[in-house]
């Protein structure tokens, strides 16, 4: 998950012009020095797995991303990447989708490109979920059509 989720996060929230290099683990240290690169999702790096958290979490924390929608999305990525569906049930679906994207991809770059719309959609899903929670007392009184229109309106605000 982190192999596709982190580039999406970095490009959307940290550096739109970021470039990514994918190298074997044993070459990371050399390439980092040579290219002045920031490693992620590799053993013993700052932007890697730490305890129960994944690389996506490490990036969110390091760059102080406080968008509540990203924090919600981070739970789904963590659930998928750490095989802990109890963190977010959507993680199982994300894992399945990313397997379907990454296995047939010719390389990591193609996988990242093909995965971006999935993360965009999950971001939107998390945003709608937060809106639903915030307005649950209003929504409970609405039928499905009214709820949909209400959500669409709030989503655009």
pLDDT bracket for residue 135 (50, 70, 90): very high
Task: Quote the mean pLDDT of the chain.
Answer: 94
**What tens digit of pLDDT does each residue of 38-71 get?**
988 888 888 888 989 999 999 999 999 999 999 9
- Which of these, 106, 105, 82, lies nearest to 94 by C-alpha position? 82
| Residue 128: per-residue pLDDT | 98
Mean pLDDT, rounded, for 94-123: 97
Burial of 26 (0-12, 13-18, 19+ CB in 10 A): exposed
Phi-psi region of 53 (alpha: psi -120 to 50; beta: other; left: phi over 0): beta
- Residue 37 CB neighbours (<10 A): 14
Give the whole-angstrom CA distance, residue 74 versus residue 79. Answer: 8
Could you tell me which residues come within 8 angstroms of residue 22 by beta carbon, excluding any fewer than 6 positions away? 107, 108, 109
Angle between helices 144-156 and 108-134 (to 10 degrees): 110
- Which of these, 142, 118, 117, lies nearest to 131 by C-alpha position? 142
List the chain domain ranges: 2-126
| Residue 1: per-residue pLDDT | 77
Whether residue 106 contacts residue 119, with contact meaning beta carbons closer than 8 Å, is answered with no
- Which of these, 58, 28, 60, 34, lies nearest to 46 by C-alpha position? 58
């Amino acid at each position: 998950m982190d192999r596709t989720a982190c580039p999406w996060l970095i490009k959307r929230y940290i550096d739109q012009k970021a470039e990514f290099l994918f190298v074997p683990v044993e070459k990371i240290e050399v390439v980092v020095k040579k290219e002045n690169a920031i490693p992620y999702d590799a053993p013993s790096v700052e932007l890697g797995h730490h305890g129960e958290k994944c690389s996506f979490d490490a990036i969110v924390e390091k760059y102080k991303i406080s968008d509540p929608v990203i924090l919600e999305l981070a739970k789904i990525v963590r659930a998928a990447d750490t095989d802990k569906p109890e963190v977010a049930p959507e993680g199982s679906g994300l894992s399945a989708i990313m397997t379907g994207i990454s296995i047939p991809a010719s390389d990591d770059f193609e996988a990242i490109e093909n995965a971006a719309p999935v993360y965009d959609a999950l971001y939107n899903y998390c945003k709608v979920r937060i809106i639903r929670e915030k307005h649950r007392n209003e929504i409970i009184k609405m039928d499905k059509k009214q709820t949909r229109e209400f959500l669409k309106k709030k989503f655009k605000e």
